[in-house]
Structure 1
């Protein structure tokens, strides 16, 4: 072997060692002891809810374990909630931030401003403009630990919260907060949120379904800088060579049903959950529950429910009876209820299969 070859081997050995150190560094940092603090659970929740204005940037990763039925409407959502998603975030505030989703094929950036969002595909040079929607399919920015943690804690009652110690997340001391929903219909066993001791920023969120040992969703920061990013990094203007268009309609099956289906008077309570109004949601979509225990119901035409029903029935874990077909994916329940005179109901939410059946039996015209 020549001297040059020996040098090349040594150089690549050094590169390999550095890569090994970088890959192992998060685990090493996480293993360092975290300093706990005597902060009551309710006060820690309040600190997390007030952290929306905390500027930061960094890397985050989300790992989902939900096996959703795949249809032409749910493919992206199924991938998002069942795969590993790596994200870079620059956060100036709830209405001014940027999230880049990093994949083997490239990056897709979502730039939020007060008027809406720009979605920029680096590979295809395509920019799409969208407006904020009250009811839309989940997107990668929704799985960032900070906004997700705030959303899940937003209606948590004091008696549902307990402290669970501390750990190191992204090299910072994070105080543990556990939410155990009180509703009997809940399919979520617990939500663990690890909150930055200094700022209240949620750094890690784990959602565990009833009876499960591993989280159905685990999202966390790997690296975090608490400096406010520059406005120029977050802002977006389509470059001259970009193809610019409107963002595709991301409304899910329930939202489309709400625009096209008739308005039926549904019960004020289903499966022990009271109805709740949601601003901006179509009138034909009814929502029930509180906190992390939610149920959405809509009456839909047969064509809209057909693809979803077929995809659900292909799962060996689907339950089919006189009411329709229902399926659970971790804490998420989904049901299509047939109506004898035509049409169907779609029910979805973080409730058990028994709760879905009880709700379906109470729907007008749905009981056998």
Structure 2
């Protein structure tokens, strides 16, 4: 009996050691030295921009340290950038993919097709359909390192790019590409993108605010398979028993259509206005690449909620222009003028840039 007991203990010890090794495997792979190549910064950027049709599946995690002001209408956006978001992704292309956000209480799936997006909430068995617009609030697919990395690199100029070595990400060699924005208004110190040398897919993206050594946003793949998923995995049709509802989110474009008065200027805070098809005169986006500034008309309720939240933010500035604050690299400002309509300035710009933009804004009219 004693001999058999000792044999069982040895066998279970071996099983325990194997389990421990499997659990530690991802961190061990990440600790392995990465192999760099001689690819230039321009060449690596070109590889990223050519990777949008690469099919893959995997598991990604985004960690945001931005404690954004929360409002009833923008809670989901605040959650994306202030919490840890775990995502399972199947990607056949920009117009055919699925991203499931996994939480302790369940899952929410985002299915993109050629005509729009289905959002499926598993626990409530509720489906919501949305169609693409000229300007949309961030959604989980926008936080994937592959999506975010490509967008942030898409408009970077050659003098803003440099190589920064290599590291292991998701068991693959990630080649480092750094963006240091040139715009004086930018609140971003740098963006580091770690790129798979074989496919050009960004494996990890880190965004650093000026004056901070810790990333304000870090999104990375923990597991990645480079193969096109089956079409039935990304496709979605609501079950007959599902509840259907229209998108009840804050419609930026609808609010902007109510604006009257002079057109928004061509330049704000030293940033040029972007030509975005379909935007009404009361809404505009300025800047390029990493440095962006949006002018958003705010209905009375939203303006009031944001105003109260900003007042409570550390370091908030309140003056005759309104109330403004910075949360990491993100600046937010509610502008109020006597007799005018409130509006919000927000983007990856400094609070000084927000104040300069507010001072140059024309009077906005329209229904509050």
Give TM-score, length-normalised by structure 1. Answer: 0.92
What residue number does 1:343 align with?
A: 341
What residue number does 1:326 align with?
A: 324
d(CA) in 1 for partners of 2:193, 2:8: 46
Shift in alpha-carbon separation, 1:23–1:353, aligned structure 2, 3 A? farther
The answer on whether the counterparts of 2:58 and 2:90 sit within 8 Å (CA) in structure 1 is yes
What residue number does 1:37 align with?
A: 37
d(CA) in 1 for partners of 2:349, 2:134: 21
d(CA) in 2 for partners of 1:301, 1:132: 22
Q: Secondary structure at the match of 1:52?
A: coil
- 1:190: how far off? 0.6
- 1:302: how far off? 4.1
d(CA) in 1 for partners of 2:25, 2:261: 55
The answer on whether the counterparts of 1:134 and 1:280 sit within 8 Å (CA) in structure 2 is yes
What residue number does 1:241 align with?
A: 241
The answer on whether the counterparts of 2:188 and 2:348 sit within 8 Å (CA) in structure 1 is yes
The answer on whether the counterparts of 2:340 and 2:363 sit within 8 Å (CA) in structure 1 is no
Shift in alpha-carbon separation, 1:20–1:104, aligned structure 2, 3 A? farther
What residue number does 1:231 align with?
A: 231
The answer on whether the counterparts of 1:180 and 1:190 sit within 8 Å (CA) in structure 2 is yes
d(CA) in 2 for partners of 1:245, 1:280: 25
Shift in alpha-carbon separation, 1:7–1:116, aligned structure 2, 3 A? farther
What residue number does 1:140 align with?
A: 140
The answer on whether the counterparts of 1:95 and 1:112 sit within 8 Å (CA) in structure 2 is yes
d(CA) in 1 for partners of 2:10, 2:72: 51
The answer on whether the counterparts of 1:301 and 1:342 sit within 8 Å (CA) in structure 2 is no
Shift in alpha-carbon separation, 1:104–1:22, aligned structure 2, 3 A? farther
1:362 to 360, 363, 366: 360
- 1:268: how far off? 1.9
The answer on whether the counterparts of 1:154 and 1:291 sit within 8 Å (CA) in structure 2 is yes
Map Cα deviations across residues 219-243 of structure 1 (whole Å, 9 max, x no partner). Answer: 0000011011111111112223222
The answer on whether the counterparts of 2:262 and 2:363 sit within 8 Å (CA) in structure 1 is no
Equivalent pairs, count: 363
d(CA) in 2 for partners of 1:246, 1:116: 13
Matches within 5 A, 1:7-22: 20-22=20-22
Shift in alpha-carbon separation, 1:279–1:365, aligned structure 2, 3 A? closer
The answer on whether the counterparts of 1:86 and 1:102 sit within 8 Å (CA) in structure 2 is yes
d(CA) in 2 for partners of 1:360, 1:118: 37
d(CA) in 2 for partners of 1:18, 1:60: 25
Matched, 1:63 2:63: yes
Shift in alpha-carbon separation, 1:304–1:39, aligned structure 2, 3 A? same
Shift in alpha-carbon separation, 1:158–1:8, aligned structure 2, 3 A? same
Shift in alpha-carbon separation, 1:307–1:8, aligned structure 2, 3 A? farther
d(CA) in 2 for partners of 1:6, 1:339: 81
d(CA) in 2 for partners of 1:7, 1:98: 48
- 1:75: how far off? 1.4
d(CA) in 1 for partners of 2:11, 2:332: 54
Shift in alpha-carbon separation, 1:93–1:174, aligned structure 2, 3 A? same
Q: Secondary structure at the match of 1:311?
A: helix
Matched, 1:222 2:222: yes
The answer on whether the counterparts of 1:255 and 1:282 sit within 8 Å (CA) in structure 2 is yes
Matches within 5 A, 1:188-227: 188-227=188-227
What residue number does 1:274 align with?
A: 272
Shift in alpha-carbon separation, 1:324–1:227, aligned structure 2, 3 A? same
d(CA) in 1 for partners of 2:101, 2:282: 34
Map Cα deviations across residues 149-199 of structure 1 (whole Å, 9 max, x no partner). Answer: 111111000110000001111111111000000000000111111110001
Report which stretch shifted further, 287-296 or 61-70.
287-296
What are the ranges of 5 or more consecutive residues in structure 1 without an aligned counterpart? none
CA RMSD of the aligned region, Å? 2.5
